[in-house]
Amino acid sequence: MINQKKETQMGKPSKAAGISRTPFIGLISNSAFIGGTIFCLMLIIYSLFQTDIFSMFQFQEILINGTTAMALAAVGEGFVIITGGFDLSVGALIALVNCILTTQMVDTIGSQVFWSFFCLLIGLIAGLINGIFVAVVRLPSIIVTLATMFIYSGCALVLLPAPTGEIPLSYIDFWAGATGGIIPNSAILLAIVVIILIIIKRSSIGIGIFSIGSDENAAYLNGINIVKTKLLAYSFAGGFYSLAGMVLSANMGSGDPTVGTPLLLSTFAAVVVGGTPLGGGKGSFIGSLFGAGIMNISVGVLFVLGVSSYYGPIFTGAILIVAVLITTMWSAYMDKLLAARRA
């Protein structure tokens, strides 16, 4: 009789479980929901001051080309943060890529293809080095990436001691141009990135990345290869930093060994604003894209309001603090809501 009752209870889905899986609850509990909502609000606010924001020029130059580099960097940083780590080398690696392209690349297709792939390889190797020290040697990620940040920054300064040089116009047109004169190439790149991120998140690698950030010991007991997953996460991060460096180089049109310095705080802010908490185990790669858009639009709002660019770092720091508060409170609220519905 008892067994029969247990079978009946197990076979019948609970009301709480059914409620907790409703589409609405699933939507608002998604980490990207926060970033997407804030992005839409910021877009509305910006449109009040910049009425032609949805024109083709404004859309391509401000919303797409101006956001792509930070979006790629934020996605890369998101891989590391979700595993429960920190990567302080993001800006330095972007600057190194910028200096390599400025000093080595010439205006030929062969040169541009070669040095682009070379920089991508440099990013993957740099990320792998970070991952080895974190996952294999088991040093704190913040210490490892702080050290490599200085190393990559030093390499950038050796290549290019001062802001100078130029990026070939054809390379600039490739990244900042538009296919058929309509679709921005940066938008195509972001669309490809979104598809790749969706595939990664649904794969065993993505599951492992989130599991490690949530509880590394539990992930290990469930058969997840901790070392391999962390190495992949840091390598992915380095690859995305390299792509960000390529896009940023095209946007700048020149080289600057210090270009990555202000990107460090902005990248962290974009990840957190996009709904990824700094504790690891939760978050959204897509949300990081929204976060980058939010950071870019916020700069545009300051410009339209006539606020000096010197206030930019102050505003970025304030956004980071507010974003941490919002994501923490929202996460706690959703946990409480789901727990109450299961009761």
Handedness of CA 306, 310, 312, 317 (dihedral sign): negative
Q: Which domains does the chain have, with CATH numbers?
A: 33-39+62-330 (1.10.3470)
When computed from its CA atoms, the radius of gyration of the chain, rounded to whole angstroms, is 22
Q: In angstroms, rounded to a whole number, what is the distance separating the alpha carbons of residues 85 and 224?
A: 17
Question: In this predicted structure, what is the pLDDT of residue 100?
Answer: 96
More confident residue, 62 or 247: 247
Give the chain's mean pLDDT. Answer: 82
Q: pLDDT for 231-286, tens place per residue?
A: 999 999 999 999 999 999 998 889 999 998 888 888 988 898 888 888 777 878 88
Q: In angstroms, rounded to a whole number, what is the distance separating the alpha carbons of residues 209 and 224?
A: 9
Q: In angstroms, rounded to a whole number, what is the distance separating the alpha carbons of residues 262 and 239?
A: 20
Q: Which phi and psi angles does 298 have, rounded to 5°? A: -60, -40
Residue 176 CB contacts under 8 Å (≥ 6 apart), including other chains: 65, 184, 185, 186, 250, 251
Question: In this predicted structure, what is the pLDDT of residue 62?
Answer: 61
Q: Closest Cα to residue 289, out of 34, 60, 25?
A: 34
Q: Work out the number of other CB atoms within 10 angstroms of the CB of residue 8.
A: 9
Question: In this predicted structure, what is the pLDDT of residue 41?
Answer: 81
Residue 296 has pLDDT above 90, yes or no: no
User: Letter for the amino acid at 66?
Assistant: G
Q: Closest Cα to residue 67, out of 248, 195, 250, 196?
A: 248
Q: Closest Cα to residue 78, out of 170, 169, 182, 193?
A: 193
What six digits make up the tokens of 113? 């293809």
Q: pLDDT for 307-338, tens place per residue?
A: 777 777 787 788 778 777 877 777 677 777 76
Decide: 213 and 31 in contact? Cβ < 8 Å: no
Residue 16 has pLDDT above 50, yes or no: no
